[in-house]
Structure 1
């Protein structure tokens, strides 16, 4: 084959890929397209920042391999993004049918953290290691909880004001999920799951006084958990009272150095790859505190770009919720939005010292395969239930009922 014909074949293949992508989103609403675009942008931008923030720690912990962490995260991106697109093509009724089974399996998977496979890190027992791979089952549990709650509420939409419906089995299921995570001392994940439950409940129309009771109960439980965990209580106390000199090496180290990193970035930053904080000054620079590295290297401009991307993602998902007539699709979209946007707000607030350190990663950007894949899978479900031309769950059930009659 000549060089000319080879180049022509390559161009034809590239054109077919472009046409296929255009067809994939041709019939979708602008909000749908913007939502997907923001997710892909955050994933790609996050991968760049993972490379920049992790190469020092990666070299120290992997026999001089500067790119070990980056390559690991890149593999999860290559798994998660195609997985999201595949999930987005499934019929919405599939997720509703599998919701109970998926939630049960996620609870069982979460239970593995208390077995010999469980790993304790940072005072939390919320990891498992299987066949050399480690992950957080709670990330999968968040996604399963959303789909299960959406299915339960959609099935009981006419009984939404009956508190007995909220308690059995909805309330018991949510409580069980919270207990499973709480037993591992993961207060940050518990907080995110409570936000998810409250967000879906609010969109579903549950009475505010019932939601207020949930908030009060969870606040009391959270206070008790903090009181019986010395390290967590120390972080909360130092956050309230401010960092004294004797706290510098304990409860204040991360927050002080994240603030230093953000402050040193100025407007335009010190330049991509030029962070000083990642040279063992800021622990978890590529995970929970990656936003601090963004602010240091890319300055106020880069930090604002990240925040603006999450804001645009939130607005596009809110518009999808408001325009979605199907209850199941509406609740799923709302739940995933509250999860990802709420978690992003918590992460950024911790970096800005507006909240005590909670160990919550920044969605789509922080290092972590289980968190990334679970988030992208959840977005795939959102894409599926909001896809133009897909038969909604309500439509499917009404047609099935007509056929049986």
Structure 2
């Protein structure tokens, strides 16, 4: 009998034990385009300097104005809020102009902007629509907002003079050939002088000199124009008793501590109190109703008191860097429009900054010009940021495109010669 093996039985399925697996977080990679697609190195450097100075200015306006605004208006953040809104609008306008506005459009825009800004300035200075502050009638209210048209006259003068030198080589012009830009400068200065703002007139004259120098005007012609401009401005200074008193007090060494020299001496004492490292941001003594215009024309004194000599050195270094960038832009292009605009930007921003500092330290008499990007004033901040946007657009085109590009002013000049 054969032994039968038991039928094979199927093995029971083994239970599957799922071990916990730690899953990594879901990540997404966003590839940003390189900065070179937005702007060249000079334009990026200029925008970085402008943004830093604007941010630093907001901080110092808050510190310098909070005490006076709390005591007078009851709102310590009033000036800071206004300046913040102007900063947002100005930075937005700067970026739009730098990335969207073509240089060829600036040539078409220049005469329109000049006529509009000068017309608004004349309306402000000669009609009841204007507002007088400190003896200067240079403000007008538009839709409930106070605007200073003279700041936009500066910007339009830059565009108008740059457009002229783009069409007419300055090195070929004598005094007679320069009558059109001289007339433009005289109209701008005269419109601002109607509002009795000598400080802005001086900056407009400085802008014109920068345009003539970088536009290629010969040195002998510049010398003749400089002597004539100095004589005119000296006549303007002597035409007002208040200005004459300030000039006399400054030339005599500023001994009238309780009168004409009060503001200058308070600024000097604020700088002395700051020393090397300052008393700390927010701890200024001079802003407690001692120093007039602490958040505007004399904000550098508060900066020196709160951040010391080191803080002022950083501030001065930023404006020196702006000068270097403007010179680089002017030196790297054969386009006369860009070169003249860079020279006038240098004269406006850097020249006005050092004029303001000269007044604060007592090297120059008081004539009232704000510190660019830093002093309180929405019109001034927006105008200077627009100027930076214009130069960024020109610098970007100069670096990224050949001067023979049809959209570039130099390209059209080249096409005309070929």
Partner of 1:131: 143
**By how many angstroms is 1:112 displaced?**
1.5
1:144 and 2:144 correspond = no
TM-score scaled by length of structure 2: 0.87
CA separation of 1:158 and 1:337: change in aligned 2, threshold 3 A:
closer
1:143–1:336 contact (8 Å) kept in structure 2: no
Partner of 1:189: 200
2:400 is paired with a residue whose SS is coil
Q: Is the deviation greater in 53-62 or in 288-297? A: 53-62
Partner of 1:289: 298
**By how many angstroms is 1:315 displaced?**
0.7
Matches within 5 A, 1:32-181: 32-62=43-73, 64-89=74-99, 90-113=101-124, 114-157=126-169, 160-167=172-179, 169-181=180-192
Deviations 1:214-246 (A, max 9, x none): 2222222222222221111111111110122xx
CA separation of 1:60 and 1:157: change in aligned 2, threshold 3 A:
same
Distance 1:266 1:277 in 2: 14
Partner of 1:371: 380
Distance 1:297 1:385 in 2: 37
Q: What is the root-mean-square deviation of aligned Cα atoms in Å?
A: 2.1
Partner of 1:392: 408
Distance 1:74 1:155 in 2: 39
**By how many angstroms is 1:28 displaced?**
4.1
1:52–1:272 contact (8 Å) kept in structure 2: yes
Distance 1:291 1:398 in 2: 46
**By how many angstroms is 1:151 displaced?**
0.5
Deviations 1:286-339 (A, max 9, x none): 000111111000111111110011111111111111111211111111111111
Partner of 2:349: 340
Distance 2:109 2:45 in 1: 28
CA separation of 1:84 and 1:28: change in aligned 2, threshold 3 A:
closer
CA separation of 1:257 and 1:92: change in aligned 2, threshold 3 A:
same
Q: Across the two proteins, how many residue pairs are aligned to each other? A: 385
**By how many angstroms is 1:27 displaced?**
6.5
CA separation of 1:393 and 1:74: change in aligned 2, threshold 3 A:
same
2:178 is paired with a residue whose SS is helix
1:160–1:166 contact (8 Å) kept in structure 2: no
Q: Which has the larger radius of gyration?
A: 2
